Amino acid sequence: MRVACAQYAIRDGDPDTNLERSVAAILDAARAGANLVVLPELANSGCDLSSRESALEIAEKVGDREAPEGPTLQAWQRAARESDIFVVGGFLEREGDSLYNSAAVVGTNFFGRYRKTHLWNEEKLLYKSGRELPIFETPLCNIGVLVCYDAWFPEAARTLALRGADLLCIPANAPDDWVPEGQRRGNLTMLNAHAVSHANANRLFVACANRVEDGYLGRSCVVDTTGGVLAFGSATEEELVHAEIYIERARLEKHLTVRSHAFGDRNPEVYEDPLRRS
């Protein structure tokens, strides 16, 4: 299957423009032969909103999962159906007076939702955190989703891998990653480093879509089960980053050597977390 990551600029607080741009990205991916496209985090709203009130106005309700209420989600569902493509995209969600930084998994006759579990900085003042790490069993493969800062937590990626994820999709709005200039790893951002690490440690595929402009770092990527980078975006350009992946590798190649296994060599008895919350 061909996986694409749509790297483009998002307009904070401008849902109409963002809807148009996201649908255009979906259609571009379909024309490029992609079976699945990942869009950035908060693709309907952007993340720099002027107030909680404006966030509540822009946020979309999921409602009936067969027919989402929000205009962006409905547009993604139409585009997915018409182009025969799966879409994984970040969106600002509203449930009552609560806000969530969520991601949708959309396909023909398929809708799933993930809510960001690990909230970054002032997101803690605006959003509620998710409480689940679901696996979305689609006709293409088993998909796990993390949103941006979620990817900084190896426990989350490992949990999804152990639950059967073949492909880890990461919608992101990653800005400067605060690594000192003289210690940077060439073109790799910390988001890329985490994507490579998750792929290698869990022997699954990773597709990460980051936005560009306004200080965001771009460099979207598709990573194979060894941690090898199959496709890599620039730091500044709007582009479609895509690659062919072979899902069976994520299911059959958990062995690193004859006697080494990505999951079989785990030793959970020594992993007890002394800081676990009661």
Report, as residue numbers or ranges, the catalytic residues: 41, 116, 148
| H helix intervals, the chain | 15-31, 52-58, 71-83, 123-126, 154-162, 190-202, 248-252
Closest CA to 103 of 140, 150, 161, 142: 150
Query: Is-contact 58 10, C-beta < 8 A?
Result: no
Residue 200 backbone dihedrals phi, psi, to 5 degrees: -70, -45
- The strand pairing partners of 5, in sequence order, are 38, 241
Closest CA to 141 of 36, 51, 13: 36
Residue 89 neighbours by CB distance under 10 Å: 28
Q: What is the largest CA-CA distance in the chain?
A: 57
The number of helix segments (H) and strand segments (E) in the chain equals 7, 16
The residue type found at 96 is G
Closest CA to 173 of 139, 148, 143, 140: 148
